[in-house]
């Protein structure tokens, strides 16, 4: 019959320690956040133009912001 000290050693596990979990990379880098910031400025400019009554410039800015810059910011590597 094993001694209590041996039982404690067996419970703790004398085998190799598990490897450290891999480091987690952030999904977006500096370039992505820069594109998001540019998109936010363009969208804000679109809403400002819309509030001033622009029926040509505002939709163009909003479409570029939402349909070009935001997806580009997500997909850029």
Calculate the dihedral angle through the C-alpha atoms of 35, 37, 41, 44, rounding to the nearest 10 degrees.
110
Is the pTM higher than 0.85? The answer reads no
Q: What is the pLDDT along the chain (77 residues), one digit of tens a residue?
A: 777 777 766 666 556 777 788 888 888 999 999 999 999 999 999 999 999 999 999 999 999 999 999 999 999 98
Angle at CA of residue 20, ends 14 and 22, nearest 5°: 155
The three-class DSSP label of residue 30 is helix
């Amino acid at each position: 019959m094993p001694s209590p000290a041996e039982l404690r050693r067996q419970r703790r596990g004398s085998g190799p320690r598990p490897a450290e979990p891999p480091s987690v990379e952030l999904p977006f880098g500096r370039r992505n956040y820069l594109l998001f910031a540019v998109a936010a400025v363009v969208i804000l400019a679109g809403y400002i133009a819309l509030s001033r009554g622009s029926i040509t410039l505002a939709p163009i800015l909003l479409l570029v912001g939402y349909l070009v810059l935001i997806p580009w910011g997500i997909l850029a590597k």
